[in-house]
Structure formats: structure tokens, C-alpha cells
């Protein structure tokens, strides 16, 4: 053993007490949750937009839930974060002094997604032309700014917190953290990719190795008013009727639903009364990476109501089965139960 002060310089890391973890080389962690919340609130509360139709601003961050941490493992900086945020917007049109409000829901902010891949939904609290005008401003102007803030947040973690987990050496040299590189995006946005396939077998889903996706579009006509048909997709009693009791529904945005004894589960993402419903579904027997997004639109044709369904991210091998399931368990079941039959278009 060398005498004190005569050791080989190659084995002397630093003159410091934490010799077992010099410069935080082996491990270190910074909890960035509190400063992240402060970052989001400051940035989102500063959002405002003024145009010829009116002005809109973010008046409140009503929800900011999640966590963030920055970790060092042997010189490599690793970021973990997951956030769910809700914002309240308000504004006035150029022709009205009414205070118009709505909300913005931002989900699945995580290291796995870039700002372009996160899911942002918006809503207006009341119907009406003035409300719709401002809602369009929110969609076209405020939402892109929200995505920009998420992008800035990723850089903020790198710059402000990445340097904290690896300390500089005696010569003042630090170890640069690597940029956050989200995992390769799935073919369809991971937040909106939820779907129910009512007839696919678990063995089929397990054995299939073809992950190619496609979209489907369906339409049908019902002999009823728009409100009656719309209620068939949000009213728990009506849904239990045509599902023969096998339906548990929380009909509000971010509300969950469970059908057919847990075979179908999902979430309401956006509900626009008598106009459209956007939700994500999952069938229990699907592999974990198989999801799709469903949008239902309702149109009054005078003598009936036309329903159109668009579904994004459907496994190609089960397209025919999924189409059959929609008609069998939903469209035809609704007609049979409530007498809305008019023939399939």
C-alpha cells in the first residue's frame, strides 16, 4: 500500500469526502416535481391570444398532477416525468361582453412522448355562436402554444436539473447530460389509441405478429332525434338496456366506462352535446400495444339522425371483425332495444 501522498495519480479521483461516489458518478437523484409545477403554472398562466373574433387567456391551472425526477447512473443522466394538466380558459368576443369559459386537458406528458405526441383536448362550457368562436381560437392558437410549453419543459429539465446530478471535477469539468430522446412513437398517438373489439379471440390476439394498422369509417341512420341517439352513448340506463345490464359508465370528460363484464374499458376524452363524442377504448384480450381512437359524430337529417364513426389505428387482421362488432353490439342493439331501426346505410 502506498504511503499517504505517494499513491499513483491514476487512482486518485478527487480530494473529497464522498470518495465512494465521486462527483456523483455512481448514483444521484434530484426531485424536480415542485419546480416543474411552478414552471407549468407560470408558463400556462402567461398564455393569451387576441384576434379579430375576440380574446382568450388562461385564467387558472385547475389541475397539475404528476412527478419528475432527474437521475444519474454512472455518468448517464436519465429523466423521468409524467404529468396530467387541466387549464381553464376564458375570454370575450368582439361583439359580446359575456365572459365565455372552457377548459383544456393535457394528458400523458412524459419522457416517452414529444410535444407533438401528447394529447390535448379542449371544450367550451356552453353552446352558442359566441362560445364556438372563442373555442376555435383556443384550438387554433392556444393549443399550439401549449405544445410549445411542453417542448420548453423538456429543455428546462435538461438545462436546470441535469447539471445538478453530476458535479464538476476539481478542474471545473462537468459531464454533459444527453438530450431527452423519446421512445419511437407508435403508429398512432398513444393517448388516443383506445378501442373495443367485441369479437376478437384472445388466442388470435396473442398469436398475431402483424402489427400493421389501418382506419375504418362506418355510418348508420336511426329513426330518432339527435338527443335520443346521443343519450345512447352517454346515458348509463340506456347503455345498460342495450348491453343487457353489462355497462358501467361515468359520462363526463375523463370519465371511465366498463362494458361486457370488463371486456371493454375506456375513457371519455371529449363530449360535445348532440354533436360528437371522442373516446378511447380497449378490449381486454388485446395485446398491450394494440389501441385505437374512436370518434362518433351525430347529424340531424330532418327525418332521422345519421351517425358516423371513424376509428384510427385498427389492426388490419381484425378489421372485418371490428366492423361486425360495432353493428352487432351497438348500432343494431340500439335499434332493437329502442325501436330506432331504419336499416343500415
Give, for all 345 residues of the chain, the pLDDT tens digit.
556 656 555 555 545 455 455 555 556 678 889 999 999 999 999 999 887 788 999 999 999 999 988 877 666 777 788 899 999 999 988 887 778 999 999 988 888 778 887 888 889 888 888 888 888 899 888 999 999 999 899 888 877 766 665 555 555 555 444 455 544 443 333 333 333 333 333 333 333 445 677 788 999 999 999 999 999 999 988 998 888 877 888 888 888 888 877 777 788 888 999 999 998 877 776 666 666 788 999 999 988 999 999 988 777 777 888 788 889 889 999 998 888 885 443
Beta partners for 56? 49, 91
Given a contact cutoff of 8 angstroms between Cβ atoms, the answer to whether 245 and 255 are in contact is no
pLDDT for 5 equals 58
- Which pLDDT score, from 0 to 100, does residue 317 have? 76
| Structure confidence at residue 210 (pLDDT) | 53
Please give the grid coordinates belonging to residue 68: 419528475
CA distance 59 to 56: 9
Residue 9's pLDDT is 53
Smallest CA-to-CA distance from 120 within 150, 100, 90, 79 is with 150
Angle at CA of residue 211, ends 206 and 213, nearest 5°: 125
Taking Cα atoms as reference points, which of 331, 294, 291, 289 lies closest to residue 309? 294
Query: What single string gives the DSSP state of each residue in 240-272?
Result: HHHTTT-EEE--STT-EEEEGGGTEEEEEEEEE
Q: Which residues contact 331 (CB under 8 A, 6 or more apart)?
A: 220, 307, 344
Q: Is 248 helix (H, G, I), strand (E, B) or coil?
A: strand
Q: Is 332 helix (H, G, I), strand (E, B) or coil?
A: helix
Amino acid at each position: 500500500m502506498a504511503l499517504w501522498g505517494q499513491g499513483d495519480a491514476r487512482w486518485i479521483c478527487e480530494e473529497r469526502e464522498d470518495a465512494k461516489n465521486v462527483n456523483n458518478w455512481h448514483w444521484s437523484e434530484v426531485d424536480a416535481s415542485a419546480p416543474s409545477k411552478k414552471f407549468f403554472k407560470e408558463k400556462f398562466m402567461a398564455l393569451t391570444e387576441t384576434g379579430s373574433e375576440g380574446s382568450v387567456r388562461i385564467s387558472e391551472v385547475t389541475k397539475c398532477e404528476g412527478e419528475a425526477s432527474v437521475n444519474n447512473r454512472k455518468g448517464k443522466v436519465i429523466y423521468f416525468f409524467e404529468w396530467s394538466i387541466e387549464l381553464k380558459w376564458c375570454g370575450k368576443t368582439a361583439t359580446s361582453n359575456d365572459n365565455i369559459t372552457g377548459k383544456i386537458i393535457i394528458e400523458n406528458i412524459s419522457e416517452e412522448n414529444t410535444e407533438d405526441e401528447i394529447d390535448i383536448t379542449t371544450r367550451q362550457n356552453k353552446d352558442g355562436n359566441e362560445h364556438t368562436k372563442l373555442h376555435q381560437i383556443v384550438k387554433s392558437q392556444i393549443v399550439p402554444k401549449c405544445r410549445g410549453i411542453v417542448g420548453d419543459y423538456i429543455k428546462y429539465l435538461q438545462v436546470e436539473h441535469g447539471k445538478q446530478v453530476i458535479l464538476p471535477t476539481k478542474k471545473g469539468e462537468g459531464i454533459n447530460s444527453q438530450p431527452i430522446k423519446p421512445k419511437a412513437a407508435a403508429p398512432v398517438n398513444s393517448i388516443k389509441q383506445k378501442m373495443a373489439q367485441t369479437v376478437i379471440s384472445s388466442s388470435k390476439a396473442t398469436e398475431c405478429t402483424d402489427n400493421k394498422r389501418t382506419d375504418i369509417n362506418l355510418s348508420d341512420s336511426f329513426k330518432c332525434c339527435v338527443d335520443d341517439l346521443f343519450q345512447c352513448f352517454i346515458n348509463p340506463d340506456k347503455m345498460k338496456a342495450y348491453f343487457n345490464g353489462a355497462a358501467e359508465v361515468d359520462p363526463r370528460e375523463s370519465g371511465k366506462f366498463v362494458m361486457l363484464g370488463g371486456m371493454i374499458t375506456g375513457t371519455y376524452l371529449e363530449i360535445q352535446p348532440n354533436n360528437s363524442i371522442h373516446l378511447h377504448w380497449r378490449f381486454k384480450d388485446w395485446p398491450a400495444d394494440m389501441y385505437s381512437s374512436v370518434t362518433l359524430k351525430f347529424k340531424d337529417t330532418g327525418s332521422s339522425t345519421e351517425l358516423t364513426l371513424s376509428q384510427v389505428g385498427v389492426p388490419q387482421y381484425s378489421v372485418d371483425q371490428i366492423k361486425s362488432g360495432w353493428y352487432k353490439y351497438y348500432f343494431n342493439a340500439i335499434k332493437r332495444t329502442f325501436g330506432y331501426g331504419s336499416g343500415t346505410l
